[in-house]
């Protein structure tokens, strides 16, 4: 089994460095990126497409579906972005108060039950990643597209690599050093029968957007 994990196309808020809510649609550039990744996948036999229900992800998935034989797109709440506290949503990523809040939250990762306000805890979003991989493993499909979001894709990659050994300390390193481009393709495979280990085969392939003008600086990952 192979899963193609794809981050949604860029939005205007992405390009502006704003922490997004669940709302928001692709910008014209994001639509072009989604079409480019759909073209990349046009020669792959895709069995199913799962997506976050957020509009930017659903748009990306629908564009891919239109290119690869009009597959039905299935929404899953398990593929939404890692939830930040309300206090930082809609604020610039460089906002000092927001940065302090997120640094405080990260310092408490691993303290079971600790919560700043209404954010998703480390234990919750890691368990969500395990649920996604377990569910896909049981579908019986050979090739699955998964459209999600930057932070949650980092979590999925961490769980693929380390399973239950994916710790808060490791996640801090992953968040700092792993950049996921808009419509970047990450491929994971499960080589054995249901329940076998997942392996990371390809990380953040974004060659299909090289010819597209990108407003984001790919060298600047989210600091917290």
Mean pLDDT of 8-35: 91
pLDDT, tens digit (0-9, with 9 covering 90-100), for 189-206 = 998 665 688 999 999 999
Burial pattern 32-64, b for ≥16 Cβ within 10 A else e, equals: bbbbbbbebbeeeebebbbbbebebbbbbbbbb
Judged against a pLDDT cut of 50, whether residue 210 lies above it is answered with yes
The total number of residues shown for the chain amounts to 224
User: What would the pLDDT profile of 98-144 be if each residue is shown by its tens digit?
Assistant: 999 999 999 999 898 899 999 999 999 999 999 999 999 999 899 99
Q: What is the mean predicted confidence (pLDDT) over 49-63?
A: 97
Q: Is 110 left (phi over 0), alpha (psi -120 to 50) or beta?
A: left
* Average pLDDT of the chain to the nearest whole number: 91
Question: What pTM does this model have?
Answer: 0.91
* pLDDT score at 218: 43
* pLDDT top residue among 220 and 59: 59
């Amino acid at each position: 089994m192979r899963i193609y994990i794809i981050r949604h196309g860029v939005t205007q808020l992405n390009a502006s460095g704003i922490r997004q809510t669940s709302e928001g649609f692709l910008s014209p550039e994001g639509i072009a990126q989604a079409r480019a990744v759909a073209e990349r996948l046009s020669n792959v036999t895709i069995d199913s497409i799962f997506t976050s229900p957020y509009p930017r992800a659903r748009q990306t998935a629908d564009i891919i579906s239109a290119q690869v034989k009009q597959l039905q797109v299935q929404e899953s709440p398990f593929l939404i972005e890692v939830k930040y506290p309300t206090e930082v949503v809609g604020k610039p990523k460089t906002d000092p108060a927001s940065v302090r809040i997120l640094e405080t939250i990260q310092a408490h990762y691993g303290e079971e039950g600790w919560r700043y306000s209404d954010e998703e805890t480390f234990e919750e979003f890691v368990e969500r990643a395990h649920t996604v991989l377990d569910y896909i493993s049981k579908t019986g499909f050979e090739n699955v597209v998964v459209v999600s979001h930057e932070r949650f894709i980092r979590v999925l990659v961490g769980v693929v690599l380390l399973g239950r050994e994916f710790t808060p300390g490791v996640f801090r390193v992953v968040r700092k050093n792993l950049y996921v481009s808009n419509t970047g393709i990450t491929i994971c495979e499960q080589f054995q029968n249901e329940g076998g280990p997942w392996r990371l085969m390809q990380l953040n392939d974004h060659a299909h957007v090289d010819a597209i003008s990108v407003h984001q600086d790919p060298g600047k990952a989210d600091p917290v």
